[in-house]
Amino acid sequence: MEDRQEQISQVVVTAGQMRDIEKRIFAAGMPVVALMEKVAGLIARRILEISPTLLQNTFSIPANTRFLRVSPQAGGSRIGILVGPGHNGGDALVVARELHFRGYEVWIYSPFSQLKELTSQHLQYAQSLGIPIYQTVGQLPDSDLLIDGLFGFGLERNLTDPIASAINQLNELSVPIYSIDLPSGLHTDTGVVLGTAIRATRTFCLGLWKLAFFQDQALEYLGKAELIDFDIPLADVEAVLKDVPRIKRITATKALATLPLPRPAVTHKYKEGHLLLICGSRRYAGGSILTGLGARASGVGMLSIAVPESLKSILVSHLPEALIVGCPETETGANAHLQLPENTDLSSFNAIACGPGLTRDATPIVQEAIAVDRPLILDADGLNILAQMGAIATLKKRQAVTILTPHTGEFQRLFPDIANAKYDRVKAVQAAAGQSGAVVLLKGARTAIANPQGGVWIVPESTPALARGGSGDVLTGLLGGLLAQAATKQIPVEDIVATAAWWHSQAGIIAAQERTELGVDAFTLTQYLLKVLT
């Protein structure tokens, strides 16, 4: 049974769901003012923990930008608090008060004339403490840190002047900005910039993760994100989410628990899964090698790789433990059709992964794989061929599990009627899985995986180092190996897919830390997969 902290760390909510959860908390008797004090106290404590490190950092300041001086006050920092009209502004004001009492020199920027009652009371008290309050950006003194409490979750309208211009001016200052709950100006669900938005250095997400944190377009505004857990009762979360498909973050704890480890004391290679990879061509020989190396790292018991006959010797040299199946070739060097060993057919395998390096000349072999009643992963040219066949109509005829692993371009070819893949990845992947009956993995800075029932896993961190040719081939092999091993286990397929994607991204992160983001080619990535588990 997962503990509360682990369960909370997986939950992702929309703005509407968060409102409903808070309503239940308040209806149960939690005073709004008490919750605000608790949340702001946690934020202030976190800022105090971070500040010493912050002040030791050296920031590179462009010559044409304004430099904000370090103040010689007792606390060592001058901190500006940006206050909005709602309870997000109230949180910021309590933070201002707490930092003021701890010796920091604090000032407040409050540009709104109409405030919620509780926020107005906190502003009045801050003024009584002698904390300076400013209404325009031009009046603001220098500072070493800004705390953004202008708008919290739930903002839906575009920001306009004068607040839009004020945010743009604040972004131009050479000073870190910590946002409370969400950088002001971002849509909570889609992560779309509503006219303009704060570019945060760090964001304190309050209570539960919001969907915007996992939309690609929001990432450049979020900075380093962390969850401030203020003890939302799990019963309230469950009550609100019980009848809707869950959106969850895949965590290390969940991923490691899904891996086929430890193995039984008594087992053998066929009990640990038999995977068939169908990949490669004379033009793209490397795709078959990288896919095979990804599968090797999964620990799959038996690995067969079907490639054009002319690639057989090079595959044997890289993967001597695999059974390399040489297939007849087309004139262009693609797989013409399968030529499996005697007494073997496609139903002999626990899982099949098909696509990397094939070229579209291998259409008949992809059609053959789709027709068989075996768990199937389609990637790269496997997806392009599926798109030509008509993805939804073709997949609806399949009885076995199908997993699709497109990037955005492939996704749009597969599902041309789903228009929001770039702007609301979660809704797009849910729609694709629902229409096709497949488990769909949409690659990106925050990879999203949906099952046909609408449940979603999101990989919460990755690295730009994976933006290299061949990285996806490695994922296909890794995923295929895990799927084959799970054939006899009662594990939801989407959990296996999310675990593979998490493992893949973690290998990229570790490799980038050791070799820089420029030093992680796909072959190097395969060498870091097992480091994730050590």
Annotated binding site: 87-91, 148, 152-158, 181, 184, 357, 407, 443-447, 472-473
> What are the two backbone dihedrals, phi and then psi, of residue 81, each rounded to the nearest 5 degrees?
-115, 120
Q: Distance between CA 37 and CA 60 in Å, rounded? A: 36
DSSP type of residue 142: P
Q: Distance between CA 191 and CA 185 in Å, rounded? A: 9
Three-class HEC string of 412-473: HHHCCCCCCCCCCHHHHHHHHHHHHCCEEEECCCCCEEECCCCCEEECCCCCHHHCCCCHHH
Q: Give the dihedral of Cα atoms 290, 296, 302, 304; nearest 10 deg.
A: 10
Q: Which residue has the tokens 């971070």?
A: 50
> What are the two backbone dihedrals, phi and then psi, of residue 177, each rounded to the nearest 5 degrees?
-125, 125
Q: Where are the alpha helices (DSSP H) in 102-197?
A: 117-128, 163-172
Q: What's the one-letter identity of residue 206?
A: L
Q: Report how far apart the first and last C-alpha atoms of the chain are (Å, whole number).
A: 24
Judge residue 108's burial from the number of C-beta atoms within 10 Å of its C-beta, 0-12 exposed, 13-18 middle, 19 or more buried: buried
What sign does the CA torsion over 414, 420, 421, 426 have?
Answer: negative
What sign does the CA torsion over 306, 311, 312, 314 have?
Answer: negative
Q: Which residues are annotated as a binding site for (6S)-NADPHX?
A: 87-91, 152-158, 181, 357, 407, 473
Q: Distance between CA 361 and CA 372 in Å, rounded? A: 20
Q: Which residues are annotated as a binding site for K(+)?
A: 88, 148, 184
In which order are the strands placed within the sheet that holds 351-354? 247-249, 456-458, 448-450, 439-442, 402-404, 376-378, 351-354, 274-278, 302-308, 323-327
Q: How far is CA 346 from the centre of its chain?
A: 34
Checking phi first, is residue 232 left (phi over 0); if not, alpha (psi -120 to 50) or beta?
Answer: beta
Q: Which residues are annotated as a binding site for AMP?
A: 443-447, 472
Q: Residue 531, Cβ neighbours under 10 Å: how many?
A: 12
Q: Distance between CA 219 and CA 523 in Å, rounded? A: 27
